Every structure is written in structure tokens, then in C-alpha cells.
């Protein structure tokens, strides 16, 4: 089993099991001074071109296996199958018809500001002082929305983070109850001045939060003097401990209009209104922000949440001296919600041409490309950085650039918004045909997961074959819901061709 070749499905699972160590023993113990950790990380983040460029022929041919012996995951259960992963990457390269991937420059303009790539740190703990942002800039991030500043320093709690986990994932969702910057206003303004002085070609966004008109105007003037490139109005922090702060503002269009106008009074810079998802229609406050001086929209901020309830003592997390509170939910699992709100705004006639900085669950270049295809010319990232570090910028940029080249794009801008026409009201969807599932029996393990799901949660269209121990489709019962595809742990089921309703009977007879 240990020497079994990896296919696309198992290679992804194998890379997902890597601990992504800071100083990876697999690389530090490589006798050839290669970097298998970088290869694995690129596979993990779906950047196969980056993996190919890092692997090298010597790594594929190596028989010493010192990398696997040094793997820290072996202290938990078993080491990552590094030699097999290296072979898989080499074979993947051969399958690409020996075509050299063309990489596309990722430069793009956003709100009139030139950005070297669309990737920014979002306003949060990942961009909260000079040293952190400077390190991120040096590693390749094009910009940063500095952690929200105000005229006061909040008193924070400990702890302030919690997560939701699923199976082998370290976490898929993240909750925080952290407030705005814990540095003084003068300290933050000095950080911003230094960043613009030392990194003049990087883009710095000042996120501000005032408590009244005067404070919004004052903060806008101060950050403008500090030399920032844009201002982001934080109308959406879901857990500020004060009346009229954070998401309370974003839910009231009149306050959004009032505070946007106050901010515009203090600056000539582009203004982004950062929207809260804690409402039904984001278009309403977004329209108010644009009407009263905002240049663009940033969306989405975190979602109000309660992470869990411990059934031994009925506490929740993060637990602060036995108590917790509603906080902001982020991470990979909020991506569908973020995409929905962005879609709704860009489909609105009054917002369709408004620049949007998208955020919410961006972890890989594919996630980023989805936001771009929906209409975002700028992207902000926090939770993935908190989990994996600033180093993910390598795979974000490499993966996106290679994808654009492979698809024949010459710039990021060409891709912006291409997915919007494919998203239509539900009454415009094709309801007169069925896409039956297609089974690859050579890949099927016979585990019966698809049968269980279809039997107990679907349309009872599968039966387990007593001879082969593998599922058989009853097309008369199948409605083409594809639940079986979604639950298959081996990737053995895929969508089949779409059959028009009038031809379905003929298909059934064939089966």
C-alpha cells in the first residue's frame, strides 16, 4: 500500500495531510538541498505549475527517502508519502503535452490605483503593525488594508479565537471576538507613514471606524496626511462593544450615508465602504455609500456567529472566564455567502459598474479566481494567512498567473465579471433535462457511501450489487441530483451527459 502510485484524487488527499511546517524537516533533511515542502504546499493549494517548477528530476528519482523519515506527521500516525507525491508531480507534468505554461502579469488597476497583483491583506490582525505588513510586502503581497484604527484603544479579551473542524481539516471555519487596533492612533499613523515611505509602490488602505461624524472626518484627514492610498470605512465589525459601532452601522443605510459623507469631507482619496453580511440585502446600504461619496465596496466582513456549545458545562468558545459572546465567523466555509452578496450587488443596475474588493473564504488561487470571475478586481485575505502564513502569496500568484495564461487571457482585468451572465434567476434554469451520474467502476472502492446517501437522503436510485459489491444505478428512480457524486470519497462518480426529458426513456432502456 505504501508504494501504490498516487492518482489526482489521492495526491490531493496526501498533500492535505501535510502539517505545512514552518521549518519543514523534509526539506532541511534533504541530502540534495531540494525543497519537497514547497512542492507539497503547491499541490495542497492547487498550484501544480509551481509544484512542477519546484520538484526537479533529482527529487523524483531520489531513493533515499530521508524526507519521509523526517516527516513530523509520522509522530502522529504515518509520514506523508513524499516520494510518491514527487513522482505524481513529475507524471502530471508529462501529461500536460509538454506545453510550457505561459504566465500572465497580474497587475491590475483598482479604484484608479495601480496594483502589482490583486492580493491584499484584509483589515485584521494579519495587518496590524509595521513589521508584519512590511514582511508581507517583501514576500509579494501587493497591498494591505491596515487593521481598523479609531480614536480609542479597546480593552480586549483572552482568548479571542475559536474554530470549527471537520474530519482531517485543522479548521474550515473561524470565529473571532477581536476588536479594532490595540495600538494608539499616533502609533498606527506612524506605522502607515513608514510603510508608504519604505514601500512606495505597495498599496496601503487605512481602515477607519469613528463614533460620530466628527471622528469619521478627523480620521479620514489623519490617514490622508499619513500618505495612504485608499480609505476603507469599517461599517461592519460584528462584535464591537459599543453602541452604533461596526455592523450596527452597516445595517442602517441612513448611518452608512451619513458616515460616508463625513469621511468624504476629510479626504480626496478613494473610499471603500466595507459591508456587513448580517442583513438580507447588501445592495441597500451599498447604494447609500456610493451615493454619498464612496468609490467602491469591500465585501464581506465576518458573519455574526456562535461557534458551539460544550455539553459538559454548556459554555461556548472562545471561552472568556466561563463566558462567551456572539462573534465574527470567517474562513473557507463563508465563501459561498460572500459570492452571493457580491453577485447581488453587481446584478443591481445601480452598482453593476462599482469596483468591489472581494473577501470571505479565499484560500487558494482558485478561490481568488472565482471572486474575480464574479466581478472583483481586488481581493483581501485574512483567515488563510492566520492558518498558513504570508507564504501562501507564492501559490496565489503562481496559480492565478498560470491559469490565466493557460486560458488565453493576457491580463487579470479580462476575466473580471465573466461569470455574472451564467448566474440567472431560478425560473430561468433548464428544468426539462437530467444529468445522470457516471460511474467509473475501476476507481470505485465499494464502500457504499453513495448508496447510503441516496437511500436515506436522496431518491433511492442506487442498489448495491451482491456480486461486485459496488453500486448500480436505477435510472427510473434517478432525478440527477448528484448527491452521490458529492459524497464519493474516491472520486469515482462524475456528471454524465445531459439528457432531454423526451429522450430520457431511451436512455433508461439503454442502461
Q: Determine contact, residues 365/49, Cβ cutoff 8 Å.
A: no
- How much is the pLDDT for 97? 57
Angle at 229 between CA 225 and CA 235, to 5 degrees: 90
Closest CA to 487 of 449, 448, 451, 442: 449
Using the predicted structure, report yes or no on whether residue 462 has a pLDDT greater than 90: yes
Using the predicted structure, report yes or no on whether residue 439 has a pLDDT greater than 70: yes
- How much is the pLDDT for 2? 45
Question: Which pLDDT tens digit goes with each residue over 294-320?
Answer: 999 999 999 999 999 999 999 999 999
Using the predicted structure, report yes or no on whether residue 1 has a pLDDT greater than 50: no
Using the predicted structure, report yes or no on whether residue 219 has a pLDDT greater than 60: yes
DSSP letter at 126 equals: G
- How much is the pLDDT for 243? 66
Active site residue 454: no
Residue 3, CA distances (Å) to 66, 82, 283, 392 in order = 15, 11, 54, 30
Question: Which pLDDT tens digit goes with each residue over 10-34?
Answer: 888 899 999 999 999 999 999 888 8
Beta strands in 94-242 (DSSP E): 108-110, 113-115, 119-121, 143-149, 161-166, 169-176, 203-208, 230-234
Split at pLDDT 50, 70, 90, the class of 57 is confident
How far apart CA 65 and CA 45 sit, in angstroms, is 24
How far apart CA 490 and CA 477 sit, in angstroms, is 24
Mean pLDDT of the chain: 92
Q: What pTM did the predictor assign?
A: 0.92
- How much is the pLDDT for 340? 98
**356-358 and 378-381 as β-strands: parallel, antiparallel, unpaired?**
parallel
Cell of 307: 461557534
- How much is the pLDDT for 10? 83
Domains annotated on the chain, with CATH: 8-95 (1.10.1060.10), 113-422 (3.20.20.70), 430-510 (3.30.70.20)
Taken in order 320, 324, 326, 330, the sign of the CA dihedral is positive
Q: Distance between the two ends of the chain, CA-based, in angstroms? A: 35
Tell the residue number behind the cell numbers 465573466, with chain if given. 418
- How much is the pLDDT for 93? 78
How confident is the model over 176-193, as a mean pLDDT? 95
How confident is the model over 342-348, as a mean pLDDT? 98
How confident is the model over 70-92, as a mean pLDDT? 91
Question: Which pLDDT tens digit goes with each residue over 367-419?
Answer: 999 999 999 999 999 999 999 999 999 999 999 999 999 999 999 999 999 99
Closest CA to 6 of 86, 97, 70: 86
Active-site pick, 237, 376, 450, 484: 237
Question: Which pLDDT tens digit goes with each residue over 353-362?
Answer: 999 999 999 9
Most confident of 52-61, 62-71, 305-314, 497-506: 305-314
How far apart CA 134 and CA 142 sit, in angstroms, is 11
Taken in order 43, 45, 48, 53, the sign of the CA dihedral is negative
How many helices and strands, by DSSP H and E, does the chain display? 19, 18
Question: Which pLDDT tens digit goes with each residue over 106-136?
Answer: 999 999 999 999 999 999 999 999 999 999 9
Question: Which helix H or strand E contains 463, and what residues bound it?
Answer: strand 462-464
What is the biggest distance separating any 2 CA atoms in the chain, rounded to whole angstroms? 77
- How much is the pLDDT for 493? 96
Cell of 255: 448611518
Question: Which pLDDT tens digit goes with each residue over 229-287?
Answer: 999 999 988 767 566 667 778 999 999 999 999 999 999 999 999 999 999 999 999 99
How far apart CA 168 and CA 358 sit, in angstroms, is 28
How confident is the model over 331-360, as a mean pLDDT? 97
Share of the chain above pLDDT 90, in %: 78
Amino acid at each position: 500500500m505504501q508504494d501504490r502510485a498516487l492518482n489526482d484524487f489521492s495526491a490531493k488527499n496526501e498533500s492535505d495531510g501535510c502539517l505545512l511546517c514552518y521549518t519543514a524537516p523534509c526539506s532541511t533533511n534533504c541530502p540534495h538541498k531540494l525543497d519537497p515542502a514547497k512542492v507539497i504546499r503547491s499541490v495542497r493549494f492547487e498550484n501544480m505549475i509551481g509544484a512542477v517548477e519546484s520538484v526537479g528530476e533529482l527529487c523524483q528519482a531520489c531513493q533515499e527517502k530521508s524526507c519521509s523519515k523526517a516527516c513530523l506527521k509520522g509522530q502522529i500516525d504515518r509520514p506523508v508519502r513524499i516520494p510518491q507525491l514527487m513522482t505524481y508531480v513529475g507524471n502530471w507534468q508529462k501529461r500536460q503535452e509538454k506545453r510550457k505554461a505561459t504566465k500572465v502579469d497580474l497587475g491590475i488597476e483598482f479604484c484608479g490605483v495601480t496594483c502589482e497583483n490583486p492580493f491584499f491583506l484584509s483589515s485584521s490582525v494579519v495587518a496590524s503593525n509595521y513589521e508584519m505588513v512590511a514582511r508581507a510586502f517583501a514576500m509579494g503581497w501587493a497591498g494591505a488594508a491596515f487593521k481598523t484604527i479609531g480614536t480609542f484603544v479597546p480593552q480586549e479579551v483572552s482568548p479571542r479565537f475559536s474554530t470549527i473542524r471537520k474530519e482531517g481539516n485543522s479548521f474550515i471555519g473561524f470565529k473571532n471576538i477581536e476588536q479594532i487596533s490595540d495600538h494608539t492612533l499616533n502609533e498606527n499613523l506612524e506605522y502607515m507613514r513608514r510603510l508608504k515611505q519604505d514601500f512606495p509602490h505597495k498599496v496601503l488602505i487605512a481602515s477607519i471606524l469613528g463614533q460620530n461624524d466628527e471622528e469619521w472626518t478627523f480620521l479620514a484627514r489623519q490617514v490622508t496626511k499619513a500618505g495612504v492610498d485608499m480609505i476603507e470605512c469599517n461599517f461592519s465589525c460584528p462584535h464591537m462593544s459599543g453602541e452604533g459601532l461596526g455592523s450596527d452601522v452597516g445595517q442602517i443605510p441612513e448611518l452608512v450615508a451619513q458616515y460616508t459623507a463625513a469621511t468624504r469631507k476629510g479626504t480626496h482619496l478613494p473610499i471603500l465602504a466595507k459591508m456587513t453580511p448580517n442583513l438580507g440585502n447588501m445592495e441597500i446600504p451599498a447604494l447609500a455609500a456610493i451615493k454619498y461619496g464612496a468609490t467602491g465596496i469591500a465585501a464581506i466582513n465576518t458573519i455574526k456567529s456562535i461557534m458551539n456549545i460544550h455539553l459538559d458545562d454548556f459554555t461556548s468558545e472562545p471561552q472568556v472566564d466561563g463566558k462567551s459572546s456572539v462573534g465574527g465567523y470567517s474562513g473557507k466555509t463563508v465563501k459561498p455567502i460572500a459570492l452571493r452578496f457580491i453577485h447581488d450587488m453587481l446584478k443591481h443596475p445601480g452598482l453593476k459598474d462599482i469596483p468591489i474588493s472581494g473577501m470571505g473564504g479565499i484560500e487558494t488561487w482558485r478561490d481568488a479566481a472565482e471572486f474575480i470571475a464574479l466581478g472583483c478586481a481586488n481581493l483581501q485575505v485574512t483567515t488563510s494567512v492566520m492558518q498558513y502564513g504570508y507564504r501562501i502569496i507564492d501559490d496565489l500568484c503562481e496559480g492565478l498567473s498560470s491559469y490565466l495564461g493557460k486560458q488565453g487571457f493576457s491580463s487579470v482585468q479580462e476575466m473580471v465579471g465573466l461569470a455574472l451572465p451564467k448566474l440567472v434567476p431560478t425560473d430561468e434554469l433548464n428544468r426539462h433535462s437530467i444529468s445522470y451520474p457516471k460511474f467509473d467502476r475501476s476507481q470505485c472502492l465499494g464502500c457504499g457511501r453513495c448508496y447510503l446517501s441516496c437511500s436515506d437522503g436522496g431518491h433511492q436510485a442506487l442498489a448495491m450489487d451482491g456480486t461486485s459489491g459496488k453500486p448500480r444505478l436505477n435510472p427510473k428512480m434517478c432525478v440527477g441530483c448528484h448527491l452521490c457524486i458529492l459524497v464519493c470519497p474516491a472520486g469515482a462518480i462524475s456528471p454524465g451527459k445531459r439528457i432531454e426529458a423526451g429522450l430520457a426513456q431511451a436512455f433508461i432502456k439503454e442502461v
